[in-house]
Amino acid sequence: MRDYGKFYIGGEWVQPTDGTPLDVINPATEQVAGRITLGTAADVDRAVEAARTAFETYGRTEPKERRELLSAIVAEYKKRSGDLAAAVTEEMGAPTKLSETAQVGMGLGHLVTAMKALDSYAFSEDRGTTRIVREPIGVCAFITPWNWPLNQLSAKVAPALATGCTMVLKPSEVAPFSAYIFAEILDAAGVPAGVFNLVNGDGPTVGAALAAHPQVDMISITGSTRAGVEVAKTAAPTVKRVHQELGGKSPNIILDDDAFEKGVKIGVASVMHNSGQSCNAPTRMLVPAARMEEAKKIAQAAAEKTTVGAPDSEARMGPVVSEAQWNKIQDLIQKGIDEGATLVSGGTGRPDGLDAGYYVKPTVFADVSNDMTIAREEIFGPVLSILPYDDVDDAVRIGNDTDYGLAAYVSGSDTEQVRSVASRLRAGQVNLNSAQVDLSAPFGGYKQSGNGREWGDTAFDDFLETKAVIGYTPAES
């Protein structure tokens, strides 16, 4: 059993001030996998003080130095990739193959992308007699979730390190193991003391203390829209920068052409990926009303081919992360049934043969209207809603009829039509015809999906302040 009771503050593993032990549950077995300590505001004070002290030096480093540091981190990360994958599987139940490839790979990808972006990013430029300088914002606080623990962690830590910021991380208390190994990686790579600090805790205590802290210059949260709102409210009195990557209810418009069957199949698979626990999952599939029955048959077959089982098996889907999450998903599936959607596949309860673990049936609803609960709320599980549309204008209208705007998807054989539809969708990322992930592409949302952008060199902007030095270059007489 893992024992991660200490915090990483000022370059050392230290005892909490007065913390409360918390068991971490393996969602595949429902058994205790380890224990952490929930921190307090006093622990946050210590970590922020260490980060503030370190910023006096690290904030003045050159891009070349920071690139070398990121290179060392990448090397250490690769050495510990097996440990990271095992931790992710144990803490959140991701299938072993998914942990080894996507979960660990995304974290590495953000580190490499930030490192390479330093080669060309302009931290200063001259405009006439004025020099415009982009300087690190200072001490950053990070609140990260459990669903893609390494991806979300690296998406914040990598640009912060690249731009010269120092930081305090509060990983999810539900899935904290991989963050501890990540801290060990940074320590082994030679990250200066106080540049990176880790304090465990829950949102109402440690999260709120970070958001309210007067010595924190920026707070970045990935989580639910509800949590993002609370962080913004708590941060408001100190007028710190608030960066949010929040919820989503992404539309997936399948156009009426010969790529229809492929689009439906891929759409189902995308929702089931990571057990549906992705904020950008294409959970609202929009199909021509005249082809709804065809879509049902294709989606049913695809869902029924999605195997569910233990993470160390060959199953494509493992459990969802916790009992609380399992119960929420069950309630929303039942809500879909009660509100009159057609249950095409799956439903409530565990899949056959799985009596322990937080496993959910791959579920598909059809004949869904956009005012139903399952079309409005983020379920965060392997549940797809299929909605009919009359024409392309109607599809765009329905697609945009959501409080969210994190991602959108369009598939079809007519490239120009696909691009045209994409241009009308109100979302931070629009994926065309299941294109591969691009880690240099800005990631973030419109509307209640958040503020700011992560990934690539665009992420640097949120970690920098802009200073204008007027008269830097004397005017020619």
How far apart, in whole angstroms, are the C-alpha atoms of residue 83 and residue 91?
12
Short-list 310, 296, 144, 301, CA closest to 221: 144
Contact 333, 383 (CB under 8 A): yes
Residue 161 dihedral angles phi and psi, to the nearest 5°? -65, -40
Catalytic residue among 279, 323, 454, 476: 279
Sign of CA dihedral 111, 156, 99, 252: negative
DSSP string, 345-361: E--SSPPTT--SS----
Q: Which amino acid is at 183?
A: A
Catalytic residue among 230, 245, 378, 454: 245
How far apart, in whole angstroms, are the C-alpha atoms of residue 145 and residue 208?
15
Contact 445, 427 (CB under 8 A): yes
Tokens 């990808």 -> residue? 109
The answer to whether 279 is a known catalytic residue is yes
Residue 156 to residues 151, 260, 269, Cα–Cα distance (Å): 9, 37, 28
363-366 and 342-345 beta bridge pairing: antiparallel
Residue 23 dihedral angles phi and psi, to the nearest 5°? -75, 140
CA neighbours closer than 13 Å in the CB half-sphere of residue 276: 27
How far apart, in whole angstroms, are the C-alpha atoms of residue 257 and residue 38?
54
Helix locations, 206-318, DSSP H: 208-212, 225-235, 260-272, 292-304
How far apart, in whole angstroms, are the C-alpha atoms of residue 447 and residue 403?
6
Question: What does the buried/exposed string (b/e) look like for 114-147 if buried means 16 or more CB atoms within 10 Å of the residue's CB?
Answer: bbbbbeebebeeeeeeebbebbbbbbbbbbbbbb
How far apart, in whole angstroms, are the C-alpha atoms of residue 42 and residue 218?
19
Active site residue ranges: 245, 279
